[in-house]
Amino acid sequence: DMQGGTFTITNLGMFGTKSFAPIVNPPEACILGLGAVEDRAVARDGSITVRPMSTITLAADHRILDGAEAAKFLAKIRELIENPWLLLL
């Protein structure tokens, strides 16, 4: 059994860091790294537009969490950030 925390969220975006590779703090299972929000050009409906975007990185101890499950978790985080109204359902 694990005691104490099992998950850390770290934010280097406040220092302007765009992306980084966070390191899991044993005995925790995961760490989520948040990068700076910046305007980026993206294609939407056949045209180029500017949107605020951020890089979010998840590092996981694969003895505890399978990579496929970690990818599903990141996909859900993305869905909720892009559609915050879903949090109200």
Residues 56 and 73 sit within 8 Å (Cβ to Cβ): no
Asked whether residue 12 is domain-assigned, the answer is yes
HSE-up of residue 42 (Cα within 13 Å, Cβ side): 10
pTM: 0.85
| Angstrom distance (rounded) from CA 25 to CA 38 | 28
Q: Is pLDDT above 60 for 37?
A: yes
Residues identified as active-site: 62, 66
The reported pLDDT for the residue numbered 41 is: 97
The reported pLDDT for the residue numbered 89 is: 87
Asked whether residue 1 is domain-assigned, the answer is no
Asked whether residue 36 is domain-assigned, the answer is yes
Q: Is pLDDT above 90 for 23?
A: yes
User: Which pLDDT band, with edges at 50, 70 and 90, does 2 fall under?
Assistant: low
Asked whether residue 42 is domain-assigned, the answer is yes
Asked whether residue 89 is domain-assigned, the answer is no
| Angstrom distance (rounded) from CA 38 to CA 89 | 28
Asked whether residue 66 is domain-assigned, the answer is yes
Domain with 45 in it = 7-83
| Angstrom distance (rounded) from CA 80 to CA 88 | 10
The reported pLDDT for the residue numbered 3 is: 66
Based on the structure, what is the number of domains in the chain? 1
Asked whether residue 57 is domain-assigned, the answer is yes
Asked whether residue 23 is domain-assigned, the answer is yes
